[in-house]
Amino acid sequence: MKARSPFLFLFALAILCTGTSHAAPAAPTAAAQKSPTDPVTAPVPVPAPVRKTQEVPSGAATHALDAVDLEAWLDGRIPYALSTGEIAGLTLVVVKDGKVLLQKGYGDADVGARVKMDPQQSLVRPGSTSKLFTWTAVMQLVQQGKIDLDRNVNDYLDFRIEEKFGKPITMRDLMNHRAGFEEGLKDLLGYDTVHSPTTERYLKDHPRPMLYPPGRVPAYSNYGVALAGYIVQRISGETFEAYVDRHIFQPLDMHHSTFVQPPPKNMPGFLSKGYRIASEPPSPFEMVITAPAGALSTTADDMGRFMLAHLQQGSYNGKQILDPATTALMHSPTETADPGFGVMAHGFFYATQNGHRIIGHGGDTIVYHTELNMLPDDGVGIFFTYNSRGKDDAVYAARKELFDGFMDRYFPAPPHAEPPALPTARQDAQRIAGRYESSRRVEHGFLTALYLLGQSVITANPDGTINAADQTGNMATYREIGPQLWRKVGGEQMLALKEIDGVKSVIDSDNPVSVLQEAAFVRSAPLNVTVLVVSCAVLLCTLLAWALGALLRRADRAVASTSVAVRRLRRVQRIAVIVDLVYLGAWLMLIKPILSTQVGVYTHAIDWVVGLLEISGVLAVAAAVAGVWVAWRMFRSDATGLTRAWSVLVALALLGVVWLGVIGQLMTWNLNY
């Protein structure tokens, strides 16, 4: 049983992946600079996008956003969410009209030591929300005329980024996550606080392949943000960590904040533990190697100061980190979008919810989960971090419900009327239906196999509506409200079908940093799952039949009736089968950690394992050649018809493994994944 369990697990994975989407690691979940010496062309204004998530009945009461009501409302829901989700703690701050309205901690910063979460003393790791400091630093240098957002980033680097499509990458492309980089996981996060590579070393040793022309297709990229942070370091002559400390943290009196990993021992405050589940031991300190993209340690109190500065034209307590013109420009869109669709605003996510303009950025490590959103027209900002993933990843629902509840209580949505159904709804539903893969993906390196097995599915219903996964991963129904434009029934999320560079693409109004692209037939999940399941089934049955046959012959003490030639061919066949089963099992063991979000496993320390498995693809090819040869010889021997037919099936199964190895990038020489 133990010997077969990895393959049973593989079958289960394949079956599950057939109808579900693969979750890419650590995606953002959030809700614009002109230098006097280096003018920047202002972006084309876009209509305010809509990001409403829930209907509020006409005449719904608006509660006054004051400290008393807010605290009572939070006290009534956060403890319950922490308890039911097995989340250790949360720290939160809300600012309004130039001051802190409320800051509070809930639950534990250290479960074992029973240290309570404190918004002023408990340091948390807000993950990708750290990017806002990188982009603020970039805008400071834009303000000084030292960075041009539309200049080739290679002009600022001491190494070269490839220009595969004949077009340079600009800082604006990096801010919009449209540089065209492929996703990468190797050395992205680790737990070795002594030997982890520096950001500079990471950038030079792990260049990301280019999948798209710069400026065209959104694909969220930690590599791109780390590149921007390295440019800040190069331009300023200070380390990135020192620059942010001197030019942002110190002016804002953010004395509990640092990009140094781990935080210095003399750092004031107490670093909150991070947990997968509150009842389990805490996770080790997470080293974010792309530091400018997610290495911040901070408190809710400090983040309140950062929000206040952005809400007050770059100023806090008499200190200016950006001038008013640059602040206003930073908060404006850097790209165009259709009405109702979110865009990027110089690194901020820009949207509207319940009719209110929102700029912000979410963030996730493995164990910390954060939301920062500001309503600049209302002078309000909210920041909160959970220090646990929670039971069954409960934190994601808790995080969404907290912010949506905040908006619906204090900034409720006006009612709207549903437009009539389009007469072309059924035809259009058939047109958008299909299988899609995210533009944010690994296409080079062995982890591409996961993206082949897990794809998003959109189906057409008889009434002209469609079914698709929403931002929480749950299936939802969408109704066409305009040509090639669908809106979620009972919500405001929209999907649009477009063609980008000749590829059928689905754009999500809530996600400006990736799109869904129609999967080519050779990359489609049904094809590759079928090849995987059938090949494994045939190989396992062959091995099982061999073992059972040997046991039965031994029990009966019978002499095999087949000829010597056939027995020799079977022996070769069995060796080929064993080689392929070991080959698949070894790859499964290497890929398995990512299924439980153990990203820290994938570092340069396992290069020898990855390289060995990639080289072992030669054995899988040899096994397939042997299987085809055995099938050919069986038809020239005295084998039975059943034996001949089975030998063909085995040969096809062995060829199927080679197919998966090639299309899944298992048979390659690539340690940059």
Residue with tokens 């990471």: 202
Confidence band (pLDDT; 50, 70, 90) for 552? Answer: low
pLDDT at res. 46: 30
Q: Torsion-angle region of residue 166: left (phi > 0), alpha (psi -120 to 50) or beta?
A: left
Q: Which helix (H) or strand (E) holds 540?
A: helix 525-556
Least confident of 195-209, 517-531, 542-556: 542-556
- Rounded to whole angstroms, the Cα distance separating 137 from 259 reads 13
Cis before 415? omega within 30: no
What is the average per-residue pLDDT within 278-284? 96
pLDDT above 70 coverage of the chain, percent: 89
pLDDT at 583 over 60: yes
Task: Please return the burial class of 107, using the count of CB atoms within 10 Å of its CB with bins 0-12, 13-18 and 19+.
Answer: buried
Over residues 17-43, the pLDDT tens digits come to 333 333 333 333 333 222 222 222 222
Q: Which two tokens stand for residue 548?
A: 């059972």
Strand-pairing partners, residue 99, are 96
Coil, helix or strand at residue 130: helix
Q: Under a CB-based contact definition with an 8 Å cutoff, are residues 90 and 117 in contact?
A: yes
pLDDT at 366 over 50: yes
Domain boundaries, the chain: 51-57+66-410, 425-519, 523-663
Confidence band (pLDDT; 50, 70, 90) for 550? Answer: low
pLDDT at res. 41: 28
Of 32 and 417, the one with more pLDDT: 417
Of 282 and 33, the one with more pLDDT: 282
pLDDT above 90 coverage of the chain, percent: 74
In what side-by-side order are the strands of the sheet with 89-96? 115-116, 99-110, 89-96, 380-386, 369-375, 356-364, 348-353, 343-345
- Give the range with max mean pLDDT: 61-65, 336-340, 381-385, 437-441: 381-385
Q: Which helix (H) or strand (E) holds 487?
A: strand 485-488
Q: Number of helices (H) and strands (E), helices first, in the chain?
A: 18, 22
pLDDT at res. 40: 28
- Rounded to whole angstroms, the Cα distance separating 629 from 621 reads 12
pLDDT at 445 over 60: yes
DSSP label at residue 170: B
Confidence band (pLDDT; 50, 70, 90) for 421? Answer: confident
Residue with tokens 């072309």: 424
Ordered alpha helix ranges (H), 314-393: 324-330
Residue with tokens 């290497």: 590
Of 100 and 54, the one with more pLDDT: 100
Least confident of 25-39, 273-287, 445-459, 563-577: 25-39
Coil, helix or strand at residue 647: helix
Exposure string (b/e) for 533-563, b if CB count within 10 Å is 16 or more?
Answer: bebbebbbebbeebeeeeeeeeeeeeeeeee
Position 588, amino acid: L
Coil, helix or strand at residue 275: strand
User: Average per-residue pLDDT in the chain?
Assistant: 88
Q: Residue 186: CB partners within 8 Å, gap ≥ 6?
A: 206, 445, 602, 603, 604, 671, 672, 673
pLDDT at res. 413: 85
Interaxial angle between packed helices 525-556 and 5-18, expressed in degrees from 0 to 180 and rounded to the nearest 10: 150
Confidence band (pLDDT; 50, 70, 90) for 492? Answer: confident
Over residues 494-533, the pLDDT tens digits come to 999 999 999 999 999 999 999 999 999 999 889 999 999 9
What is the average per-residue pLDDT within 551-577? 77
Q: Under a CB-based contact definition with an 8 Å cutoff, are residues 245 and 256 in contact?
A: no
Q: Which two tokens stand for residue 431?
A: 């047109």
pLDDT at 554 over 70: no
Which CATH code of 3.30.1370.10, 1.10.645.10, 3.40.710.10, 3.40.50.300 fits the domain covering 51-57+66-410? 3.40.710.10
Of 40 and 171, the one with more pLDDT: 171
- Rounded to whole angstroms, the Cα distance separating 86 from 89 reads 9
pLDDT at 561 over 70: no
Over residues 318-347, the pLDDT tens digits come to 999 999 999 999 999 999 888 889 999 999
Least confident of 7-21, 181-195, 270-284: 7-21
Coil, helix or strand at residue 160: coil
pLDDT at res. 28: 37
Of 61 and 603, the one with more pLDDT: 603
pLDDT at 600 over 60: yes
pLDDT at 393 over 90: yes
- DSSP structure string for 161-207: ---TTS---BHHHHHTT-S-BPP--TTSEES-TTTPPPHHHHHHHSP
Coil, helix or strand at residue 516: strand
Distances (CA, A) of 463 to 88, 359, 508: 45, 37, 22
Coil, helix or strand at residue 449: helix
Position 639, amino acid: A
Q: Which two tokens stand for residue 449?
A: 């196999």
pLDDT at res. 112: 94
Q: Torsion-angle region of residue 165: left (phi > 0), alpha (psi -120 to 50) or beta?
A: alpha
